[in-house]
Amino acid sequence: MKHIISVIVDNKPGVLARVAGLFSRRAYNIDSLAVGPTEDKDVSRITLVVQGSDDIVEQIGKQLNKLPDVKKVLDLSQGEFISREMVLLKVHATAKNRNEIYTLANAFRAKIIDIAEESMIIEATGDTSKIEGLEALLEKYGLLAVVRTGKIALARGKK
What are the structural domains of the chain? 2-78 (3.30.70.260), 82-155 (3.30.70.1150)
Q: At what angle do helices 15-25 and 54-66 cross, to 10 degrees?
A: 140
Bridge partners for 90 per DSSP:
121, 145
Q: Buried b vs exposed e over 135-158: b needs ≥16 C-beta within 10 Å?
A: beebeebeeeeeebebbbbbbeee
pTM for the whole structure: 0.84
pLDDT tens per residue across span 90-147: 999 999 999 999 999 999 999 999 999 999 999 999 999 999 999 999 999 999 999 9
DSSP per-residue letters across 36-103: EE-SSTTEEEEEEEEE--HHHHHHHHHHHHHSTTEEEEEEGGGS-EEEEEEEEEEEE--TTTHHHHHH
